[in-house]
């Protein structure tokens, strides 16, 4: 019942947001296919006999990367919206029900604070990522077909390689591994946001985001004082990345103990990420960073449950 409640109260963010983002991505892809085809025909006509493509077997084999890029592109567009949805859902998850006093109704039911908070946590860390991944894959499949259609319409040889040489199962394996890793990695950020949501009497965004970032800036400025050395990297990594941005999928590749190639791929974008072996995401499970962050996140969730029980704005 609680999980259904969270979905119906926030289906605009969990469902319609990713669907609309995916639809927009598909529309722009269609426009890109039409515009690119028209431009291609124009250039071909200017060359009289058209443009002849001669592709070797290896080049045809690499055409599968176009299919991989289309799948990863659709997934990336949906994930971009998903990050904002999860961030602001966690930030307002307890504050909103305190603000509109609906918390009093739910407290009148035989539902404990632990059940109520954990239902929100399950949506933020597991159900919302799974729903976004399913929508992203559907969008990626459409973009995959559009990429093949564009190749066929423009007479590219070996257009079928976009299907036959792609690696959709590798992407599915990467997703299957990433979801549980994401749940552990994002726990400190979600825990912090839900703690602020349960504690703040107003403007939880200021307490959760603005004040920690201003504190980082202030501490960093202390470095100009003689005799004071501030570990800027460690402070910003802990507060900004692990504290606020761990809800962004794939940020674990930025950890210093992760494989160097994986770090470079994460910085290059979703296309490069699609080339990574799914095992790379599992490497983060061997880092103390992930487990310390998960433990702190669990502690903050516990504090949020206690605050929800005793916090009384009335």
> For residue 48, what pLDDT band results from cuts at 50, 70 and 90?
low
> Mind listing the pLDDT tens digit for each residue in 229-241?
778 888 898 999 9
Contact between 246 and 188 under an 8 Å Cβ cutoff? The reply is yes
pTM, entire model: 0.84
Tell me the pLDDT of the chain averaged across its residues. Answer: 83
Compute the distance between CA of residue 35 and CA of residue 275 in angstroms, rounded to an integer.
28
Which range, of 25-39, 58-72, 147-161, averages the lowest pLDDT? 58-72
Which of 73, 133, 72 is CA-nearest to residue 274?
Answer: 72
Q: Could you report the per-residue pLDDT of 171-198, keeping only the tens digit for each?
A: 888 888 889 999 999 999 999 999 999 9
Query: Average of pLDDT values for 2-26?
Result: 89
Q: Where are the alpha helices (DSSP H) in 274-313?
A: 279-282, 288-310
Please state the φ and ψ torsions of residue 48, each to the nearest 5 degrees.
75, -80
pLDDT digits (tens, 9 = 90+) for 70-125: 888 888 888 889 999 999 999 999 998 888 888 888 888 888 889 999 999 999 99
Residue 276 pLDDT more than 60? no
Phi, psi of 90 (to 5 degrees): -65, -40
Longest dimension (CA), the chain: 79
Return the pLDDT at 257: 65
What pLDDT does 61 receive? 63
pLDDT given for residue 188 in this prediction: 95
Residue 251 has pLDDT above 90, yes or no: no
């Amino acid at each position: 019942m609680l999980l259904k409640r969270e979905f119906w109260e926030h289906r605009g963010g969990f469902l319609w947001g990713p669907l609309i983002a995916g639809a927009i991505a598909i529309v722009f892809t269609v426009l890109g296919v039409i515009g690119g085809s028209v431009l291609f025909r124009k250039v071909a006509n200017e060359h009289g006999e058209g443009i002849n493509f001669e592709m070797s077997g290896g080049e045809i084999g690499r055409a599968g990367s176009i299919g991989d890029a289309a799948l990863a592109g659709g997934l990336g567009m949906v994930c971009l919206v998903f990050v904002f949805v999860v961030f602001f859902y966690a930030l307002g998850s307890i504050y909103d029900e305190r603000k509109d006093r609906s918390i009093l109704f739910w407290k009148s039911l035989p539902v404990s604070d632990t059940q109520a908070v954990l239902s929100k946590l399950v949506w933020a860390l597991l159900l919302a990522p799974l729903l976004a991944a399913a929508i992203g894959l559907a969008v990626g499949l459409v973009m995959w077909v559009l990429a093949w259609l564009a190749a066929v319409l423009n007479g590219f040889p070996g257009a079928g390689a976009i299907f036959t040489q792609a690696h959709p199962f590798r992407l599915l394996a990467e997703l299957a591994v990433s979801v549980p890793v994401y749940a552990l990695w994002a726990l400190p950020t979600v825990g912090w946001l839900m703690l602020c949501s349960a504690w703040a009497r107003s403007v939880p965004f200021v307490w959760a985001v603005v004040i920690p970032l201003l504190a980082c800036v202030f501490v960093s400025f202390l470095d100009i004082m003689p005799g004071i050395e501030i570990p800027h990297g460690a402070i910003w990594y802990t507060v900004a990345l692990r504290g606020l941005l761990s809800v962004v999928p794939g940020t674990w590749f930025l950890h210093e103990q992760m494989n160097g190639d994986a770090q470079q791929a994460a910085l290059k974008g979703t296309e490069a990420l699609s080339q990574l072996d799914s095992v790379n995401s599992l490497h983060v499970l061997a880092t103390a960073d992930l487990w310390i962050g998960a433990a702190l996140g669990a502690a903050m969730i516990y504090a949020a449950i206690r605050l929800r029980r005793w916090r009384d704005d009335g």
